[in-house]
Amino acid sequence: MTSADLDVIVAGAGVSGLVAARRLVSGGLTVAVVEARPQVGGRTMLTEAHGITIDRGGQFFGTGMRHLVALLEELEIGTKPNGSMRNPDDLDVWYRKGERQTYRGELPPLSESGGAALLTAMGQLQAMSDGISLEKPWDSPGAARLDAMTLGGWLDANVTDEEATYVLTALFSLACVAPPAQLSMLFALWFLAGAGGIEGMGADVDLTIVGGAGSVAQRLATDLGDRVRCDWPLRVVDRTDDGVSVTGPGGEVLTARRLIIAMSPADARHIEFGPQLPTARQALQTSWQQHAILKFHVFYHTPFWRAVGLSGAALSDLPGAPIVFDGSPEDDSVGILLGFLAIHSPRLFGGNEPELLDDPERLRDEIVGALTEYFGAAAAEPTTVLIHNWALEPHISGVLGATPPGLLTAFGEALRSPVGPIHWAGTETALRWSGWISGAVEAGERAAREVADALQPAN
């Protein structure tokens, strides 16, 4: 790769940027993909442990995530059931206020009044999300009013049952990573609409990818060959009469007619633009929130929980492991329980004291202790505990993006709007499943179409 003119530069070798590059190359355009990190994949990442390939980043999806499903079919990459959903007769664990219960079905065991209140609230949320425009949520009826409040504020005002409030708080906290107290109500409804509704958001995580979700980016990059350059952080973008000039490590310059920035708005704010971006885009990037998580994998000799009829899934108020799934390989050669911890205030759902997150020994004990409460004494004796803190990943501001109150209606129009020769990809710009891998695929394909349409007259 030289500094010769290209048709398109794609900044970011996550799934979104690589999909965009794939589509553009197939259309006959010359493309370079630059990536700040030493490997491709973005927020998907593979690692090996005990001879098992595991995903340290995003991994779950479902048949409703049609953009990812179509890409997997194109790449001939197989899928398999989420480990916790292999046997429909197995029971999930619900652990709250020191009480452990098991259940089967979509919703945890609630009191009669709690269950009724939950269904009522879910119906209200569904009805409100039905009125949200996927393409322009800021233009939806009542958008200003909805964007002025938080989801947490709406729950406080409209859901009086404590059990129902807890379940909804958990659902959104896990799907969006952001706690409801910090999440714009408009954004929450937009996400809900893009996830196929309240039932789709909670249920469409029944599949995983053979070889790991990280294998998708690896395959895309392999097909692109030397068009992909890692360890190439994009530092400066200059708009020129002919397109863009981008500066990377050591002052190396690449030029192209178009640029796709395939990263979150929070990551894009670290790039120096000349001339400066329009105020709306600059403000969007400055105020955009990216929330990080810790993901853990706890290894055992066998998936012992299955012998007692448990699925390996748990939902809990214990901060050490608020959500757990069975991550064991299909051959059951080892047992793996995987889960997530939020990185935010301990006063909010799933939050932890920062001191705990920085103390590996104590954190390990909290995780294993929680698993022991859910699955019994055998869970107290893991062979290995792996913890990946996404807050510490260089060049990645967080795992999932969200907006605080007021941001979407003020500056949302800038989320996907091109700025001259600069186009925007990344999962945050997707209409459906924003923040998830399928959203990354959708966004990359949309950005590629924009660029191809813009360059077509010159081809």
- For Cα atoms 410, 414, 415, give the angle at the middle one, nearest 5 degrees: 105
C-alpha 101: how far from chain center: 29
What is the bridge-based pairing of β-strands 31-34 and 244-247? Answer: unpaired
Q: Give CA–CA dist 452/459, Å, rounded.
A: 10
DSSP symbol at 330: T
| Residue 386, beta-bridge partner list | 297
The annotation status of 195 as a binding-site residue, yes or no, is no
The annotation status of 355 as a binding-site residue, yes or no, is no
- The secondary structure element, H or E, covering residue 410 is helix 407-411
What is the bridge-based pairing of β-strands 272-274 and 236-239? Answer: parallel
Ramachandran assignment for 381, one of left (phi > 0), alpha (psi -120 to 50 degrees), beta (any other): beta
Return the structure tokens found at 153: 């504020």
The annotation status of 361 as a binding-site residue, yes or no, is no
Inter-CA distances, 27 with 86, 279, 404, Å: 41, 33, 38
Residues 32 and 257: beta-carbon distance below 8 Å? no
Cis peptide before 275 (omega within 30 of 0): yes
The annotation status of 428 as a binding-site residue, yes or no, is yes
Q: Quick one: how many helices (H) and strands (E) in the chain?
A: 15, 21
The annotation status of 330 as a binding-site residue, yes or no, is no
- For Cα atoms 345, 205, 196, give the angle at the middle one, nearest 5 degrees: 90
Inter-CA distances, 81 with 67, 122, 219, 316, 390, Å: 18, 26, 21, 23, 25
Name the binding residues for substrate. 340
Name the binding residues for FAD. 16, 35-36, 428
Name the binding residues. 16, 35-36, 340, 428
